[in-house]
């Protein structure tokens, strides 16, 4: 079988970048997609991905990506990491434009990519046995929390894209995998959500022993992709040990409760 090729969105930072790196280490060809061309170029120069700058909220950009992929080789995997959150306001005080942005980058981008790339994934599956789609959602898709309803709604909708797609592809050798991380500490996610307030972003993680890293999530994505082609990991929920549930977070050292 030829070297497998993955399209990784959100590849200019965080989980997307870590996934591109992890796949390259495993021998995959990687097309790294994001808006920031300069960061993608540095990644291309460093690890040998192929950079493709695109805004996934723009139909023409996604169509251009699909056309370039069709001309340049097979596609075996779509790993959709791009997304994000804005604001922590209660529903009554939230900005509609923030909710619109979250819907665009988390949900409509997923639909655009599936519509544009599914024909190429079918060709990859036909040639090499199977193909994959991976959607990185969030535990926010599973449990609401105060100040998070806009992001909860967007990620829950993205999860439904994955669930519906899996049903629609029944009978085809195309896996649909959802990875839903809990608390992940990256350079940008919380900082962007909080409008660039570094102190507020740092406070989110204060005292939490070993939040997940982007590399942790990338390892799980690669594990799911490298599983035998007949094995579909429908939903992988992952959290740091310090986060037992969306609402239950331990701050301070983790210690066993020893009995004298």
The verdict on whether 151 is a catalytic residue reads yes
Residues whose CB is less than 8 angstroms from the CB of residue 83 and which lie 6 or more positions away in sequence, other chains included: 10, 105, 106, 109, 136, 154, 155, 158
For residue 2 the two structure tokens come to 């030829």
The alpha carbons of the chain give a radius of gyration, in whole angstroms, of 18
Question: Alpha-carbon distance 122 to 36, whole Å?
Answer: 29
* CA 190-155-149 angle, 5° bins: 70
Q: Is 14 in contact with 36 (CB distance < 8 Å)?
A: no
Of 145, 151, 205, 223, catalytic: 151
The count of other CB atoms within 10 Å of the CB of residue 226 is 11
Give catalytic residues, as residue numbers: 151
């Amino acid at each position: 079988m030829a070297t497998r090729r993955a399209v990784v969105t959100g590849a200019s930072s965080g989980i997307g970048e870590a996934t591109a790196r992890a796949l390259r280490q495993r021998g995959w060809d990687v097309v790294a997609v994001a808006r920031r061309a300069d960061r993608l170029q540095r990644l291309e120069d460093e690890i040998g991905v192929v950079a493709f700058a695109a805004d996934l909220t723009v139909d023409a950009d996604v169509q251009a990506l699909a056309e370039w992929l069709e001309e340049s080789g097979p596609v075996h995997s779509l790993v959709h990491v791009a997304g994000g959150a804005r604001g922590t306001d209660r529903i009554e005080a939230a900005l509609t434009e923030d909710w619109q942005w979250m819907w665009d980058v988390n949900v409509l981008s997923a639909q655009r990519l599936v519509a544009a790339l599914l024909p190429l994934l079918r060709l990859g599956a036909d040639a090499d046995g199977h193909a994959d789609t991976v959607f990185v959602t969030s535990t926010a898709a599973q449990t609401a929390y105060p100040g998070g309803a806009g992001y909860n709604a967007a990620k829950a909708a993205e999860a439904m894209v994955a669930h519906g797609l899996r049903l629609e592809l029944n009978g085809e050798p195309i896996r649909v995998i959802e990875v839903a991380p809990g608390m992940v500490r990256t350079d940008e996610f919380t900082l962007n959500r909080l409008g660039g307030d570094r102190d507020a972003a740092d406070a989110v993680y204060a005292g939490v022993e070993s939040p997940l890293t982007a590399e942790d999530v990338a390892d799980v994505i690669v594990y799911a992709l490298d599983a035998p082609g007949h094995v579909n990991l429908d939903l992988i929920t992952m959290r740091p040990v310090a986060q037992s549930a969306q609402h239950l977070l331990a701050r301070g050292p983790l210690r066993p409760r020893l009995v004298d």
